[in-house]
Amino acid sequence: MDKPTVQDIFNRFYPGYLERILMLLPAPLTSFVQTQNTWGQILPIHVLSRKFRGKYMAELKRLWQDGRLVFGGTSEKYRNHYTFHELMDACYKKEWIPHCKETFNGAQSVIAYLGKYTHRIAVSNHRILCMDEKTVTFSVKDYKNGGGWKTLTVFGVEFVRRFLMHVPPKRFVRIRHYGILASRNKKKLIPLCRNLLGCRAYLSQLKDKTGPEIIKQLWGVDICKCRHCGGHIVSHHKAIPLRN
């Protein structure tokens, strides 16, 4: 099978207005990537660093030459040919450090890891402490002082600006699937993968079950039961069709 699964999660967060793209690869592919504490693998970390830097910078130069880069604010100066190439030279001199993690220990670890990025809002309601006509006071983590919590008061416009920094740009989505999980491929390739892995007998146990029933059987978690009071939550979920 020559179509690997790549799942990238686009995530924006404050401070620093840093954009990250997290890529998840199948275990056979990640075995080719060397982590900082593992040696002897096919693709050493310094090779991956230079390859990623070269590909990224080549595409950036192509976008600049095609006039498709938008410069605003303090970056306005990079419209100039010489200033832009000075920036490119500085980036090439930097040592890029890709962070490669070891493979996940099962599906539950994947769900726990991805949940932090895919199903979390910028500021939850309980963090907003008070507000008035001009300001908003909310709790934030102070990473400069060990990650302790403190209160911060900002003007309403600034609060909205920070919140909107978590909104992906136009035409971006938080999760994209490629390879065997791409929309045009998964109908054909996922059943093939399951057959190769011998999942048919396992899937038969989940046939005609609802989403909450499947979660309870796989993870032992009853999502129809309140974890605080123990009360039962009415479920209207339908049975999930499973591909053979």
**Which H or E run contains 141?**
strand 135-142
Q: What's the whole-number average pLDDT of the chain?
A: 77
What's the pTM value of the predicted model, to 2 decimals? 0.50
Q: How many residues does the chain have?
A: 244
> Which residues make Cβ contacts (< 8 Å) with residue 243, sequence separation at least 6?
187, 190, 191, 194
> How far is CA 232 from each of CA 92, 211, 235, rounded to the nearest angstrom?
58, 16, 9
Asked whether the beta carbons of 59 and 88 are under 8 A apart, the reply is no
- Rounded distance between C-alpha atoms, residue 99 and residue 33, angstroms: 10
State how beta strands 7-13 and 128-131 pair.
Answer: unpaired
Asked whether the beta carbons of 13 and 143 are under 8 A apart, the reply is no
Is 60 exceeded by the pLDDT of residue 103?
yes
- Rounded distance between C-alpha atoms, residue 92 and residue 57, angstroms: 8
> How far is CA 117 from each of CA 32, 110, 141, 175, rounded to the nearest angstrom?
25, 11, 17, 10
The separation between CA 185 and the C-alpha centre of its own chain, rounded to angstroms, equals: 22
Please give the average per-residue pLDDT across 66-73, as a whole number.
85
| % pLDDT > 70, the chain | 75
Residue for token pair 């592919």: 29
